């Protein structure tokens, strides 16, 4: 079957695709975890600082994701 309609254009939109907003949280989260692991050999103070940063960014990331999911439509009967 062809993806084009009779006029040569694209078929009508059936469902809107949800994309999350751009965020730096995953990058900061990964960097904090990596630095916490590397800091084990250097100083426990650095482990605590980077571990705290990791926990804060994890909580913020989860909260942002929950907020995004809560905004999605609940009715899927039209599909």
Where in the sequence is the domain holding 33, given as residue range(s)?
A: 25-70
Q: Contacts for 6-14 with beta carbons within 8 Å, 24 or more apart? A: 14/79
Domains held by the chain: number: 1
Is residue 50 situated within a structural domain? yes
Global confidence as pTM:
0.71
Does residue 8 lie within any of the structural domains? Answer: no
Question: For the segment 17-70, what is each residue's pLDDT rounded down to a tens digit?
Answer: 777 888 999 999 999 999 999 999 999 999 999 999 999 999 999 999 999 888
Domain contains 79: no
- 77 in any annotated domain: no
In sequence order, the 6+-apart residues with CB closer than 8 A to the CB of 64 are 20, 21, 23, 25
Provide mean pLDDT across the span 1-20.
63
Residue 49 lies in a domain: yes
């Amino acid at each position: 079957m062809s993806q084009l309609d009779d006029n040569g254009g694209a078929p009508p939109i059936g469902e809107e695709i949800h994309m999350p907003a751009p965020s730096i949280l995953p990058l900061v989260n990964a960097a904090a975890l990596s630095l916490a692991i590397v800091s084990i050999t250097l100083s426990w103070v650095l482990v605590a600082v980077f571990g705290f940063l990791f926990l804060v960014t994890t909580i913020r990331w989860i909260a942002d994701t929950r907020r995004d999911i809560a905004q999605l439509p609940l009715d899927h009967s039209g599909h």
